[in-house]
Amino acid sequence: MLSVASYLAGRFLHRIFEFLEHWYPGSFRVAGGKFMELLADWDRFFALRITVRHWHEPLYQDRTFIGYILGPIFRTGRIILALIVYLLAAALAGLLYLPWLLIPPYIIYKILTGIWMS
């Protein structure tokens, strides 16, 4: 009878740890992958890496004095805009992911307070 109880306790603990592994690292991999896909799609529009790489060059290869002046100015604005959009998206993703992380502790809290309150 002891072996059955120890087996059930072991399986219970295994399932709890399996759930926690699925809920926390597993969901982070999925959410992080989706967020990285979103940033990759946005980078096709903002072209942050390319803009940074060619920051010192004139805009549209206009090799006049005005091209050399306006190129870095416009590219700096584009870099700042892209960074702001990326930071806002990261903050929003973090705010959306935080409640997901807090669901299991909240459920455990409600269960424990329900048991102790009655």
- Residue-wise pLDDT tens digits, 34-91: 999 999 999 898 888 888 998 888 888 888 888 888 889 999 999 999 999 999 999 9
Tell whether the model's pLDDT for residue 114 goes beyond 90: no
Cβ proximity of 32 and 97 under 8 Å: no
User: What does the pLDDT average to over 94-106?
Assistant: 93
Per the structure block, which two tokens stand in for 12?
């219970």
Ramachandran region, residue 70 (left: φ > 0; alpha: ψ -120 to 50; beta: rest):
alpha
- pTM to 2 decimal places: 0.73
Q: What CA–CA distance (Å, rounded) separates 11 from 4?
A: 10
The span from the CA of 77 to the CA of 52, in Å, is 11
Note the pLDDT of residue 117: 67
